[in-house]
Amino acid sequence: MRLSAAVLCALVAVQAAVLLAAVPAAQAELPDSADDVHKLIANFARKNFTVEELVILSGAHSIGQTHCSSFAGRLSEPADQIVPAYRELLKYKCSQGSNPPVVNNVRDEDYDVVARYTPGFTSRVRKVSDYLDNSYYHNNLAKIVTFHSDWTLLTHKEALGHVKEYAENGTLWDEDFADSLVKLSKLPMPAGSKGEIRKKCSAINHRLY
């Protein structure tokens, strides 16, 4: 499924606008990249999303970028949660500046960096980046995902089953992801809020005060 990062950003921004009325509320309402699976499930359930839909929407992490501050704890997690070589790759990327951006998917990483740290994964590198597909699920099972909130899906029986399901069937994930996005877009706005589609994912378009 070819979906531009800009389109996905807009969809995520709509989600944020739906969930929030003010910036402080954002931190309390939105899922955090360090959350464990039970907190994620509870967060999604408050908006009437199932465990399966949590796993489906998490697949959006097959594209886009994050910053090192969003996965700092991941850099010290044990080998049963993250492949040590991938952890070293992330450490290297984070050493290249002050909270630098890092791609979510090793598939979109610089080939030379992957060859240096995780040569076994060079075959996953693609010339076309930000291609939305089910590679997230393969990466998660291989423990080469960036966020703790991604890895933690493997610790829950039902969630793990869906991760395996979508790793095996990319066409099914395409269809289910589209349906989940439609459901996401229909969440009601907070009372008195018009919402907005952000021009930049990490910032609202206007000052709140």
Alpha-carbon separation of residue 174 from 38, 158, 181 (angstroms): 25, 20, 11
162 is in an annotated binding site: no
Alpha-carbon dihedral 61, 66, 70, 76, rounded to 10 degrees: 80
Residue 205 backbone dihedrals phi, psi, to 5 degrees? -80, -15
**In the block, residue with structure tokens 């349906």:** 179
Q: Is 176 annotated as a binding residue?
A: no
Matching residue, tokens 């886009």: 64
Is residue 10 within 8 Å of 191, Cβ to Cβ?
A: no
Distance CA 202, CA 58 (A): 18
Backbone angles phi, psi at 89, to 5 degrees: -60, -45
Residue 206 assigned ligand-binding role: no
Token pair of 42, please? 């509870």
| 61 labelled ligand-binding | yes
Query: Residue 133, class by beta-carbon neighbours within 10 Å (0-12 exposed, 13-18 middle, 19+ buried)?
Result: buried
Residue list, annotated binding site for heme b: 61
Residue list, annotated binding site: 31, 61, 110, 133
Residue list, annotated binding site for substrate: 31
Residue list, annotated binding site for Ca(2+): 110, 133
